[in-house]
Structure 1
Amino acid sequence: MSTATTRAPEGRYGRSSDERADRTLKIVGAVLGGVLLVVIGWFGYHYVGQNKISAEVIGFEIGENAVQVHLEVRKDADATGYCTLRSQAEDGGEVGRADFRFGGDETRIDKVVTLRTKARGTSAELLGCHAE
């Protein structure tokens, strides 16, 4: 005795709706993936490629009304700009903020700057650097 199949013969009635849905999902996924790659590339270019000045805080010394900050700045030779530093008190309140300008032909500047505070600061934080 043989069993009868309930499947339609292949190719007789066109593609099934599942195959059409799969194809649509693949196209939508490819388009969204491409858009995501373009967005990541755009942000990467503007964050890394266009940033002419970067810096980091190497260390700091706390005083009663000032914080001495050892700042290392890396920049393009022709770039001028500024870096913003801030200091916070133990309770988290901001006690000092200042911009420090950099220029010249050097590509690496290693400098100790003084951030004046209105009370005793417990930290020194680099908020960011911007080219002019």
Structure 2
Amino acid sequence: MGAVRERLPEGRYGRSADARADRQLRIAAVVLGSLLLAGLGWFGWHYVVGSKISAEVIRFAVVSDSEVQVHLEIRKDAATKGVCTLRSRSEDGAEVGRKDVAVDESADRVDKVYTIRTTARATTAELIGCTAR
């Protein structure tokens, strides 16, 4: 036979401490969850609306031990000017080249090939980001 747990009569002694703690924990979880969701929404909205210039690497080619060509497509407002930063890495992940590309064209879409000079043979090229001026 197992141990029998004695139950207190309902309503006679008020709410138990466990029930009160559970209720407080639920309220705290709802408040913190709401704050987290609101924060994520604000950051997402700020990222999408605040981004006046964006770009993506279409393709890249390692031309030699000291050069990588990157085909970059940039989307922006026609009046916006900015800078995009490209980086090239070697096989072990070390950065071997970096280039800041000025985006001064008055078009809303810029499609160009840029050359990154490297200090060693690169295996990849990536876009770090773009910022509007």
TM-score, with normalisation over the residues of structure 2? 0.80
1:45 to partner: Cα distance? 2.2
Number of corresponding residues = 127
Q: Which residue of 1 aligns with 2:39?
A: 39
Q: Any unmatched runs of 5+ in structure 1?
A: 1-5
Q: CA deviation at 1:93?
A: 3.2
Task: Report the alpha carbon displacement of residue 39 of structure 1 after superposing the two structures with TM.
Answer: 1.6
Which stretch has the larger CA shift, 17-26 or 111-120?
A: 111-120
1:69 lines up with 2:70 in the alignment: yes
Q: How does 1:1-132 map to 2 (within 5 A)?
A: 7-64=7-64, 65-132=66-133
1:120, distance to aligned residue in structure 2 (A) = 3.5
CA RMSD of aligned residues (A): 2.1
Say if 1:63 and 1:121, in contact at 8 Å, map to a contact too: no
Q: Tell me the SS of whatever aligns to 1:124.
A: strand
| Identity value in percent | 60
The more displaced of 99-108 and 20-29 is 99-108
Measure, in 2, the Cα distance between the counterparts of 1:92 and 1:18.
53
Residues 7-16 or 73-82, more deviating:
7-16
- Cα gap change, 1:90 to 1:13, in 2 (>3 Å): closer
Q: Could you tell me how far apart the structure 2 residues matched to 1:13 and 1:88 are?
A: 69
In the alignment, the residues of structure 1 paired with residue 43 and residue 84 of structure 2 have an alpha-carbon distance, to the nearest angstrom, of 21
In structure 2, distance between residues paired with 1:7 and 1:118? 77
Structure 2: which 5+ residue stretches go unaligned? 1-5
Aligned equivalents of 2:13 and 2:118: distance in 1? 80
Q: What is the CA–CA distance in structure 1 between the aligned matches of 2:83 and 2:39, rounded to whole Å?
A: 28
TM-score, with normalisation over the residues of structure 1? 0.80
Change over 3 Å in CA distance of 1:12–1:72 after alignment to 2: same
